[in-house]
Chain A
C-alpha cells in the first residue's frame, strides 16, 4: 500500500473514535476511557480491555458539562465530561481519571458523581515527589489499586505475565511513534501536519499491538524514501494538544513542517518507556513514571534550574528548527505557568517563537492563520 493510503487510514481512525469504540465492543471486549495524563494504560491492555484515549473533541460544544464546570475550565476537561454526559462514551465500562492539574482534580469528583450509575470511575492521584523510595512505593500503591479495580471490571485477575507483555507492546508502540516523529520530520513532503497528527492521534483509538504493526509498516516505507529537499520552514510544536485538522492545515498551507514536538498528546506521552526486565511489572510502571521528565505537569526536583525550557530549546536546535509554535490551551494554568521560562530559554538560544491561544471549540481560525503566515514569512 502506498504511503498516502496508509496515512489516510490512520487519519480516518483518528477522526472516528466512536466507530473504533463500537468496533472493539462488537468483538466482545470491554472498554475503559483513559483521561490524560500518565495513566498506566498498560494495565487496561493487560486486562484484555480496550483503552480509549480521551482528549476532548474538535466537533462538540460544551453544554451539559456547564452544570458542573465554571466557564474558566479548559475545553479538554469540559468536553471529556460532555462526552460522558451526552452518551458519546456510553460504550465505556469504566473511566480512569488522573488528577495531575487543578482542573482534573475537582473534575474527578464531578465525573464520579455524574457517572455513578453508568460506569466505574477509577481515580488516580500520582505522587509528584516520585523520585525517592517513598514516592516509587506510593506510585506502586496507586497502580495496584487500579489493577484491582480493572480486574473487577474485566472479571478476571490479570497476571504479572500479562502486564509484562503489555509493557513490551507499549514500549514497541512508543518506539514506533518516536521513530515516526523523526521520519515525518525528515519527510514533510510525504507527511503533512494534518496526516502526522492523524497517525499519532490514532494511537488513542486502537489496541496498541495492532497500532504498532500498522505504524511499523508505515515507518518502513517512509524510511525507504529518498532524502527530502524540503524548501519550507521547519518548526517545533509545543503545548497540550494541537490536533484540529483545520488548524494544522494552516501549517501545511504555509509550508511549515513539524520536525519535532513537545506536545502532551504527542511526544510528551511516549518519551519514556517502562523497563522490561523487572520481575515486578507494577514496579516497572512506577519506575517509568519516576523517569518522566521535562513535563509542565510534573514536579522537577532540580527546580532552581530551567531544565524544561532548555530541553525544549535544545530539541529545536537538534532538529534544526527555524522556530517554535506554542499552542497554548486556554485556561491551562500548568502550561501557562511554565511559559515565561520556556520563553527565556528560547530567547537565550535565539529560537523565535509564537504563542497561539487555542481551544477545542475554536471554529474560526482567522487569527491563527494570520499569525502563522506572518511567522512563516519571518522564518523563511
Chain B
C-alpha cells in the first residue's frame, strides 16, 4: 500500500484522553471558537464535494488563498490541538517509527504522522488530506523540509515563499523585492491550480478583513495593559488559533471585536476572566507546552500570577493594503527577526503591560526560537530589572516536560518578585 492509500484509510488506534467539562464561555469566546471549528468543517465539506484543500504553514499569507476562495487548514494549529488533547505521544511515536527522529520539531512529527494517514482522537481538528501545500518559512527553516515531506507523501504541488532570516531590525528593498517576486510566482501557481484569475478587488477586500482582524486582535491584547487586567492573558493562547487559521475572514474580525466589547464591559464593572485575584503580572515567553496547559496554569493560580504579556500580540499584527506591503509585513515573524528586534518587542510589551517577571519556556521543539533565549533573558534582566526564570519543555511532545521542575521554577520566580516588592517598599 502506498502512502497515499494509507492516508486515505486513516485508522484511529487510540482513545482520546478524557476531556474535562468546559466552563461556560462568553459569546465572544464562543464566536472565536466557532470561527476555528468552521475552518476545519469547511475544509472537510470541501473535500467531500471534490474541491481542493490545502495545508498551510501558519504565517503563509492567508490573504492569497482566501482571495482564491481556497479551503486551507493549518498543521501547526492542528498539532497544538492534538497535543492539548493528549494525542501527541501516540502520533510522535508513529513518526519516530517511520524514521523521523525525536529531535525534530514535535509539530512536524505529529503532522507527518497525520499526513501518513494516522487519524487523531481530537475530532474537531481532523483535516482532510491535502491537494497542495503552502509553505512560508519565515518562522523556521524546518518548515521547508517538513512541507517537502508532505509534498512527497501525497505527491502534490508545494507553493513556496521563502523569507530569509533578518540580521537587522528593518528589511531592505532587495529583501522586499525577493519576497514580492515570490508572491507573484505563488499567485501564478495558484491561478494554474484553480483555473481562476487572481481577483485584485477581492484581494483588497480580504486585506481589509485581515487588517480589521489584526486591529481587533491588538485591541484585545491591549486590555492586558490595565492593572488589574480585565482578562487572563492565558486566554490569548486559545485565541491565537483564530489569528492563525482565519485572519482574512470577516467573522474573525467580528468575533474579536465582540470579545473586545466584553472586555470593555469587564473593565467598567471591575470583572475579569482571570479566575483568581491578580497578585503579580508576568510575561510568558514562547509557545506553551500544549499537552500541559493544566499543569502550567496550576501554580500560576496558586500564586496569583496573571500572564499579561505574550509575544504573539505583535507577532500576528500583519497589516497592509497591497502585495508590496504584504511582502514587508510577512518578513517580520517571531523567529525571523534579529535579536535586537526580538528584545525590543518583548521589552516594550513588558513595560506597556506592567510586568513584574518573566517565565521563559526553553522549548525543545523549536531550535530557532530557543536558540537566543539565554541572551534575551540576560537582556530583560538588565534592561527591565525584572527577575526571569526558565523551564524546560516542548510545545507538543508531552514527554519533554517535567511538572515538578516547572513548579519549582515558578516558585523561584514568585520569591524573586516578592523580594523585589519588598525592596521597592523599603525604598519608598
Which residues of A (50-109) have their CB < 8 Å from a CB of B? 67-70, 72-73, 99-103, 105-109
Which of chain B's residues have a CB closer than 8 A to the CB of A343? Answer: 99
Min CB distance B45 to A, Å, is 26
In the complex, how many residue pairs between chain A and chain B have their CB atoms under 8 Å apart? 164
In whole angstroms, what is the CA distance A103 to B185 when docked? 29
Cβ-based interface call for A155 (8 A) = no
Cβ-based interface call for A110 (8 A) = yes
Which residues of A (325-364) have their CB < 8 Å from a CB of B? 328, 330-334, 336-341, 343
Cβ-based interface call for A205 (8 A) = no
Beyond A67-B374, A102-B368, whether A300 also contacts B165 by CB under 8 A is no
A304 touching B142, Cβ below 8 Å: no
Cβ-based interface call for A296 (8 A) = yes
* CB-contact partner of B141 in A105, A137, A340, under 8 A: A105
Which of chain B's residues have a CB closer than 8 A to the CB of A303? Answer: 147-148, 151-152, 158
In whole angstroms, what is the CA distance A126 to B178 when docked? 11
Beyond A299-B148, A304-B151, A334-B145, whether A339 also contacts B165 by CB under 8 A is no
Cβ-based interface call for B297 (8 A) = no
Q: How many residues of A contact B (CB 8 A)?
A: 54
Stretch of B61-69, B101-109, B120-128, B287-295 at the chain-chain interface:
B101-109
Beyond A109-B375, A112-B339, whether A137 also contacts B167 by CB under 8 A is no
B177 touching A106, Cβ below 8 Å: no
In whole angstroms, what is the CA distance A101 to B362 when docked? 18
Cβ-based interface call for B157 (8 A) = yes
Contact digits for A21-62, partner B, Cβ 8 Å, 1 yes 0 no: 000000000000000000000000000000000000000000
Cβ-based interface call for A129 (8 A) = yes
A125 touching B166, Cβ below 8 Å: yes
A301 touching B375, Cβ below 8 Å: no
A106 touching B371, Cβ below 8 Å: yes
Cβ-based interface call for B144 (8 A) = yes
A138 touching B175, Cβ below 8 Å: yes
Cβ-based interface call for A134 (8 A) = yes
Chain B residue with Cβ nearest A308: B148
A106 touching B144, Cβ below 8 Å: no
Contact digits for B161-182, partner A, Cβ 8 Å, 1 yes 0 no: 1101111000000110110111
B177 touching A73, Cβ below 8 Å: no
A333 touching B367, Cβ below 8 Å: yes
In whole angstroms, what is the CA distance A339 to B100 when docked? 7
Cβ-based interface call for A371 (8 A) = no
B101 touching A339, Cβ below 8 Å: yes
Chain A residue with Cβ nearest B186: A129
In whole angstroms, what is the CA distance A73 to B370 when docked? 10
Contact digits for A258-287, partner B, Cβ 8 Å, 1 yes 0 no: 000000000000000000000000000000
Which of chain B's residues have a CB closer than 8 A to the CB of A125? Answer: 164-167
In whole angstroms, what is the CA distance A298 to B100 when docked? 18
Cβ-based interface call for A113 (8 A) = yes
* CB-contact partner of A341 in B149, B160, B369, under 8 A: B149
B103 touching A134, Cβ below 8 Å: no
> What class of interface size applies to chain B in its complex with A?
35 or more
Cβ-based interface call for B349 (8 A) = no
Chain A residue with Cβ nearest B174: A141
Which of chain B's residues have a CB closer than 8 A to the CB of A123? Answer: 167
Which of chain B's residues have a CB closer than 8 A to the CB of A297? Answer: 141
In whole angstroms, what is the CA distance A337 to B373 when docked? 24
Cβ-based interface call for A132 (8 A) = yes
In whole angstroms, what is the CA distance A112 to B373 when docked? 14
Cβ-based interface call for A305 (8 A) = yes
Chain B residue with Cβ nearest A126: B164
Cβ-based interface call for A128 (8 A) = yes
A138 touching B98, Cβ below 8 Å: no
Cβ-based interface call for B156 (8 A) = yes
Min CB distance A302 to B, Å, is 9
Which of chain A's residues have a CB closer than 8 A to the CB of B137? Answer: 128
Beyond A109-B372, A132-B185, whether A102 also contacts B177 by CB under 8 A is no
A129 touching B160, Cβ below 8 Å: yes
Min CB distance B328 to A, Å, is 15
* CB-contact partner of A331 in B103, B146, B182, under 8 A: B103
Cβ-based interface call for B321 (8 A) = no
Which residues of B (80-105) have their CB < 8 Å from a CB of A? 98-101, 103-105
Beyond A105-B371, A125-B164, whether A339 also contacts B99 by CB under 8 A is yes
Which of chain B's residues have a CB closer than 8 A to the CB of A132? Answer: 181-182, 185
Min CB distance B387 to A, Å, is 19
Chain B residue with Cβ nearest A298: B144
Cβ-based interface call for B389 (8 A) = no
Contact digits for A230-248, partner B, Cβ 8 Å, 1 yes 0 no: 0000000000000000000
In whole angstroms, what is the CA distance A100 to B165 when docked? 9
In whole angstroms, what is the CA distance A343 to B98 when docked? 10
Which of chain B's residues have a CB closer than 8 A to the CB of A109? Answer: 167, 338-339, 371-372, 375
A299 touching B367, Cβ below 8 Å: no
Chain B residue with Cβ nearest A138: B178
B174 touching A138, Cβ below 8 Å: yes
Which of chain A's residues have a CB closer than 8 A to the CB of B373? Answer: 70
Beyond A106-B371, A301-B160, whether A337 also contacts B177 by CB under 8 A is no
Cβ-based interface call for B280 (8 A) = no
14 A-B pairs whose Cβ atoms sit less than 8 Å apart in the complex: A68-B372, A99-B164, A110-B375, A127-B164, A128-B164, A129-B178, A137-B178, A333-B103, A333-B367, A334-B145, A337-B100, A337-B104, A337-B108, A340-B100
B: which residues have CB within 8 A of A?
A: 98-101, 103-105, 108, 137, 140-142, 144-149, 151-152, 154-158, 160-162, 164-167, 174-175, 177-178, 180-182, 185, 335, 338-339, 362, 364, 366-375
Inter-chain pairs besides A70-B374, A303-B158, 19 sampled, C-beta below 8 Å: A69-B371, A99-B165, A106-B372, A109-B371, A125-B166, A128-B137, A128-B144, A135-B162, A137-B174, A137-B181, A296-B145, A299-B144, A304-B154, A304-B156, A305-B152, A333-B105, A334-B145, A336-B101, A338-B145
